[in-house]
Amino acid sequence: MTASSSAAAPQPFRSRKAAPLSGTARVPGDKSISHRSLMLGALAVGETEIHGLLEGEDVLRTATAMRLLGGEAERGADGVWRAQGRGIGGLREAPEVLDLGNAGTGTRLLMGLVAPYDFVTFFTGDASLRSRPMGRVSEPLSRMGARIVARAGGRPPLAVIGTAEPMPITYKLPVASAQVKSAILLAGLNAPGITTVIEPEPTRDHTELMLKGFGATLTVEQTPEGRAVSLTGQPEIFGRKIIVPGDPSSAAFPMAAALIVPGSDLRVPNVGLNPHRIGLIETLLEMGADIVIENRREEAGEPVGDLRVRHSALKGVTVPAERAPSMIDEYPILSVVAAFADGETRMEGLAELRVKESDRLSAMAQGLAACGVKVSEGQDSLTVTGGKAPAGGVRIPVKLDHRIGMSFLVLGMAAQKPVEIDDAEAIGTSFPGFVDLMNALGAMVTKADR
Ligand code: S3P
């Protein structure tokens, strides 16, 4: 599967009522940590060993980009990836346009990474990526001295004209975004002095944890304005061993399927449980979900655990806006679960969903309504009234969005009639093998007619 910038023939899939799901769902490595491992591995002195890298299309695009920028990253026959770093300041101009496919994270983080270098880097991607706003990253990077030339609305294709004399900045994030925070910190790596990012609402802190793990000097302080992360620039960072935990955002799909398919009992081992990523689990527990976390442990600086999830009678809840950063990618699948919960589930503070791989707020509202679910879409909220199994019997447009595709395939596992998606291609960006895994657990997902 490729999420290439040139459109491949669509691959429609159909999901119908599943048998009770049982067994073990091993989910692929965390996408956020995988991107960062390759990037930091290319800047560290010496070798970085990456165990459990997500080999999804998005991350493979980052691996290619790092090679074009002068790093080395290869998969060994043992499945372990090894990156040979160039040291901070050691990147070179890419001889080609960096095509990041569907990957917003790859694009935004790399824009930061290349901004403090005296060369130009060109970025493009698929139709979804080319519709996404990058101004939120361009703005702080311009303050550091880079120039960004982009299409209207800050959209790619774009060029980052790097600076030989980057300036460290102090920047307060106007939106809660780990991508923007990380882009600035990665730029700060090659700037002299201290770069500070202040986030009014805390977002995932993988960049901070990993920078420290690689030996950078980074401090985190609570200030009246928010959480202030300060990085001392131009450190020497050293190659290390990274163990990538299973992605909680991918685990969300088999978990949700187990909750809504009657009789299900699944184990989902080795799931990352970073406190900034577990808003979905918190919400599902409030809804009455039978989720048990076993064998909590820490691996390479990240908390990890094994989950056991059983079919549950669920009730609707209100999900407060403050929780959004800790479950930002999980609203599509939560809204599917909500369709099976008794009463109303109201999700607030969802404005950011409109600028993800698709406008997820409207994609979910329209798709759920087409499946016969009562749903109301606000400017930045979504209310789903659940109860009996949705009718289904429709084909949903995925809009190049992996999480929309997986969400509706999961819905089809417990709907009255099958649910189809118009194109499963995008699923490979974050969850290669999703269909085979779900079928091995008892799902009935098959190719559908074009
Ligand atoms: C990510 C941060 C989130 C998330 C994305 C991955 C990251 O985006 O939606 O899938 O790895 O930093 P925002 O930071 O823009 O909310």
Q: Give 179 Cα–ligand 1 centroid separation in angstroms.
A: 5
Question: What tokens appear for 436 in the block?
Answer: 């085979």
CA distance 413 to 318: 25
Q: Which of 58, 329, 422, 423 is flagged as catalytic?
A: 329
Q: How many other CB atoms sit within 10 Å of the CB of residue 7?
A: 11
Q: Give 273 Cα–ligand 1 centroid separation in angstroms.
A: 16
Ligand 1 environment, Cβ below 6 A: 32, 105, 177-179, 182, 203-204, 328-329, 352
CA distance 239 to 320: 40
* Whole-structure pTM value: 0.97
Backbone phi, psi, residue 120, to 5° = -105, 140
Q: Give 294 Cα–ligand 1 centroid separation in angstroms.
A: 27
The whole-number pLDDT of residue 5 equals: 47
* Closest atom of ligand 1 to CA, residue 32: 11
The yes-or-no answer to whether 5-29+245-447 and 31-242 have a common fold is yes
CA distance 33 to 73: 15
- Nearest protein Cα to ligand 1, atom 16: 177
CB 307 within 8 A of CB 251: yes
Q: Give 127 Cα–ligand 1 centroid separation in angstroms.
A: 19
CA distance 302 to 209: 8
* Closest atom of ligand 1 to CA, residue 356: 9
Q: Confirm whether 329 is a catalytic residue.
A: yes
- Nearest protein Cα to ligand 1, atom 10: 329
Residue in the structure block whose two tokens are 């589930």: 345
* Closest atom of ligand 1 to CA, residue 203: 14
- Nearest protein Cα to ligand 1, atom 5: 105
| CATH class belonging to 31-242 | alpha beta
Backbone phi, psi, residue 104, to 5° = -70, -40
Q: Can you list the alpha helix ranges (DSSP code H) found in 80-132?
A: 104-114
Q: Can you list the alpha helix ranges (DSSP code H) found in 189-300?
A: 206-213, 248-260, 279-286
- Nearest protein Cα to ligand 1, atom 13: 177
* Closest atom of ligand 1 to CA, residue 109: 12
The whole-number pLDDT of residue 300 equals: 84
Q: Give 448 Cα–ligand 1 centroid separation in angstroms.
A: 32
Which of 328, 350, 358 has the most ligand 1 atoms within 8 A of CB, as the residue to mutate? 328
Rg, Å, the chain Cα set: 21
Assess whether the previous peptide bond of 390 is cis (omega < 30° from 0): no
Could you tell me the CATH superfamily of domain 5-29+245-447?
Enolpyruvate transferase domain (3.65.10.10)
The whole-number pLDDT of residue 450 equals: 87
Per-domain residue ranges for the chain? 5-29+245-447, 31-242
CA distance 272 to 330: 14
* Closest atom of ligand 1 to CA, residue 35: 11
DSSP state of 441: H
Per-residue pLDDT tens listing for the chain (450 residues) = 333 445 679 999 999 999 999 999 999 999 999 999 999 999 999 999 999 999 999 999 999 999 999 999 999 999 999 999 989 999 999 999 999 999 999 999 999 999 999 999 999 999 999 999 999 999 999 999 999 999 999 999 999 999 999 999 999 999 999 999 999 999 999 999 999 999 999 999 999 999 999 999 999 999 999 999 999 999 999 999 999 999 999 999 999 999 999 999 999 999 999 999 999 999 999 999 999 999 999 998 999 999 999 999 999 999 999 999 999 999 999 999 999 999 999 999 999 999 999 999 999 999 999 999 999 999 999 999 999 999 999 999 999 999 999 999 999 999 999 999 999 999 999 999 999 999 999 999 999 998
Which of 35, 36, 185, 204 has the most ligand 1 atoms within 8 A of CB, as the residue to mutate? 204
Q: Give 105 Cα–ligand 1 centroid separation in angstroms.
A: 6
Residue at 394: amino acid letter = V
The whole-number pLDDT of residue 7 equals: 64
CA distance 88 to 91: 8
376 sits in which H/E element: strand 374-377
- Nearest protein Cα to ligand 1, atom 4: 329
CA distance 316 to 318: 7
